[in-house]
């Protein structure tokens, strides 16, 4: 029997638990082509939320969806090429259609459309780098012009949007992009990013993208619907989990969807009947073991002061600049604390909640407590 708990891919329909308010909000934005930004760490359910919102919005209005992933995009040329490829994939069915659209809407950049027979006849588009960069506005106008040409709204869904902050001349690129996109009415944008601090900086007041899109805040999935989902999923598969154990799963993972689903799955595979205390303990150990390699790799990138700072967070320290705290945790000075905190934010290990540093990843914090510091 397959596990009812899905944590390695998007979840839709009955497997999507909680976030009803955010789902309704995003569905409305999609239907009205309101630009939206979603900021949350990887595994927090952004893609599942967007996918379910698309399903709901499709019932209300017709549109075409372009999905663009920037995780491997490092410069402007790659951005324009990837965006154009995905837009034409969404708009056209054949290579001839690709060529016709390119000839009409990209006359200055003059791309070549080819069919790669080695890759199942995949259609590809190739640009001359210099010409594309010189006429980049053609690509940035493409979503709106495609919508006009086909008389159908376009929704452009971009993942890992924070990558654009690392481009050469990033500020100029962002201004150019925004100068075109802010005038689009037939095309709407959903901009998602996993790196919380980097995304927040992109959309901060005073930055080019400030007020370009409405941000839908993503908090942890609410406890009650997730607990009910866990109990119901166990029951449907002929197994039983007590409410207190389901609540423990949610609280241990703090409603972080990937980990909540993963922890529930590990409890599910450890029992054929009723979940008991020893099964919960075993599943907790399994949860840590499953993520051990990634967390070890992460710790290897941290300096000793950064690790000491994390220990202080775990110990509940709030006043990091106090002399006794600096001495106890080897933080050297108040100026060094600022540098350490900034480095941990840049590495997306911590973020600030009401000016207090907190771990972004609750299971990494659990791993640090149980495996790293207890092993000393």
Q: Which long-range contacts (CB under 8 A, 24 or more apart) does 367-376 make?
A: 367/288, 367/291, 367/292, 367/295, 368/295, 368/299, 368/310, 368/311, 368/314, 369/314, 370/288, 371/288, 371/292, 371/295, 372/295, 372/299, 373/311, 373/314
How many domains would you assign to the chain? 3
Say if residue 205 is in the same domain as residue 302: no
Tens of pLDDT, residue by residue over 356-370, are 999 999 999 999 999
Say if residue 310 is in the same domain as residue 343: yes
Assign residue 48 the CATH number of its domain.
3.40.50.300
Assign residue 272 the CATH number of its domain.
1.10.8
Tens of pLDDT, residue by residue over 66-105, are 999 999 999 999 999 999 999 999 999 999 999 999 999 9
Domain boundary among 263, 290, 317: 290
Tens of pLDDT, residue by residue over 5-16, are 988 888 887 778
Predicted confidence at residue 358, as pLDDT, reads 95
Residues 294, 264, 27: CA angle, nearest 5 degrees: 90
Assign residue 303 the CATH number of its domain.
1.10.10
Decide if 56 contacts 32 (C-beta within 8 A): no
Distance of CA 196 to the CA centre of its chain: 9
Burial 8-35 (b: 16+ CB within 10 A, else e): eeebeeeebbbbeebbebbbebbbebeb
Say if residue 111 is in the same domain as residue 140: yes
User: Which 3 state secondary structure label does DSSP give 231?
Assistant: helix
Instruction: Provide the mean pLDDT of the chain.
Output: 93
Predicted confidence at residue 260, as pLDDT, reads 95
| pLDDT at position 265 over 90 | yes
List beta partners, residue 192.
38
Tens of pLDDT, residue by residue over 188-242, are 999 999 999 999 999 999 999 999 999 999 999 999 999 999 999 999 999 999 9
Domain boundary among 245, 272, 290: 290
Decide if 92 contacts 98 (C-beta within 8 A): yes
Average pLDDT of the residues in 263-273? 92
Q: Is residue 12 part of a domain?
A: no
Say if residue 240 is in the same domain as residue 267: yes
Q: Is residue 38 part of a domain?
A: yes
Q: Is residue 11 part of a domain?
A: no
Q: Is residue 168 part of a domain?
A: yes
Decide if 362 contacts 372 (C-beta within 8 A): no
| pLDDT at position 306 over 50 | yes
Cα separation, 61 vs 272, in Å, equals 45
Q: Which two tokens mark 8?
A: 């390695």
Say if residue 286 is in the same domain as residue 188: no
Lowest pLDDT segment from 106-110, 230-234, 316-320: 316-320
Say if residue 187 is in the same domain as residue 45: yes
Which percentage of the chain shows pLDDT scores above 70? 98
Domain boundary among 258, 290, 322: 290
Say if residue 64 is in the same domain as residue 126: yes
Burial 48-78 (b: 16+ CB within 10 A, else e): bbbbbbbeebeeeeebbbbbbebeebebbbe
Cα separation, 348 vs 373, in Å, equals 20
Average pLDDT of the residues in 40-46? 94
Cα separation, 323 vs 304, in Å, equals 19
How many CB atoms neighbour CB 242 within 10 A? 14
Nearest alpha carbon to residue 91 among 137, 128, 52, 144: 144
Average pLDDT of the residues in 165-175? 95
Say if residue 277 is in the same domain as residue 307: no
Decide if 156 contacts 143 (C-beta within 8 A): yes
Q: Which two tokens mark 24?
A: 């309704």
Say if residue 242 is in the same domain as residue 256: yes
Q: Which residue range is the domain that position 323 belongs to?
A: 294-373
Predicted confidence at residue 376, as pLDDT, reads 46
pTM above 0.95, yes or no: no
Predicted confidence at residue 42, as pLDDT, reads 94
Given CA atoms 89, 95, 96, 101 in this order, what sign does their dihedral have?
positive
Q: Which two tokens mark 216?
A: 């839908």
Predicted confidence at residue 1, as pLDDT, reads 64
Say if residue 158 is in the same domain as residue 25: yes
Decide if 115 contacts 122 (C-beta within 8 A): yes
DSSP letter string over 302-336? --HHHHHHHHHHHTT---TTSHHHHHHTT---HHH
Predicted confidence at residue 283, as pLDDT, reads 95
Say if residue 209 is in the same domain as residue 63: yes
Q: Is residue 309 part of a domain?
A: yes
Say if residue 148 is in the same domain as residue 259: no
Q: Is residue 128 part of a domain?
A: yes
Q: Is residue 136 part of a domain?
A: yes
Average pLDDT of the residues in 250-272? 94
Decide if 218 contacts 40 (C-beta within 8 A): yes
């Amino acid at each position: 029997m397959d596990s009812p708990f899905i944590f390695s891919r998007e979840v839709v329909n009955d497997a999507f638990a909680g976030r009803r308010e955010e789902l309704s909000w995003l569905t409305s934005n999609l239907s009205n082509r309101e630009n939206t930004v979603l900021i949350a760490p990887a595994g927090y359910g952004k893609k599942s939320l967007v996918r379910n919102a698309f399903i709901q919005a499709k019932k209300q209005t017709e549109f075409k969806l372009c999905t663009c992933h920037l995780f491997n995009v490092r410069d402007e040329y790659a951005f324009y090429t990837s965006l154009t490829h995905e837009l034409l994939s969404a708009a056209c069915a054949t290579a001839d259609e690709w060529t016709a659209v390119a000839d009409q809407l990209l006359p200055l950049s003059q791309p070549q459309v080819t069919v790669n027979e080695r890759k199942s006849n995949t259609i590809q588009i190739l640009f001359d780098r210099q010409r594309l960069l010189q006429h980049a506005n053609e690509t940035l106008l493409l979503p709106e012009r495609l919508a006009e040409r086909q008389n159908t709204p376009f929704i452009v869904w971009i993942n890992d949007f924070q990558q654009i902050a690392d481009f050469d001349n990033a500020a100029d690129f962002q201004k150019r992009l925004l100068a075109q996109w802010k005038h689009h009415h037939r095309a709407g944008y959903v901009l998602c990013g996993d790196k919380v601090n980097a995304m927040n900086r992109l959309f901060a007041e005073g930055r080019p993208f400030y007020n370009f899109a409405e941000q839908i805040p993503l908090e942890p999935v609410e406890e009650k619907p997730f607990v009910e989902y866990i109990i119901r999923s166990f029951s449907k598969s002929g197994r039983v989990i007590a409410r207190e154990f389901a609540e423990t799963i949610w609280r241990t993972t703090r409603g972080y969807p990937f980990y909540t689903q993963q922890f529930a799955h590990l409890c599910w595979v450890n029992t054929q009947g009723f979940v008991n205390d020893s099964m919960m303990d075993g599943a907790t150990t399994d949860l840590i073991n499953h993520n051990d390699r990634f967390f070890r790799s992460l710790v290897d990138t941290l300096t000793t002061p950064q690790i000491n700072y994390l220990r202080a967070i775990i110990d509940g320290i709030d006043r990091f600049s106090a002399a006794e705290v600096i001495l106890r945790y080897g933080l050297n000075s108040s100026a060094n604390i600022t540098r350490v905190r900034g480095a941990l934010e840049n590495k997306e290990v911590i973020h600030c909640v009401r000016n207090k540093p907190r771990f972004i990843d609750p299971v990494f914090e659990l791993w640090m407590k149980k495996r790293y510091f207890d092993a000393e």
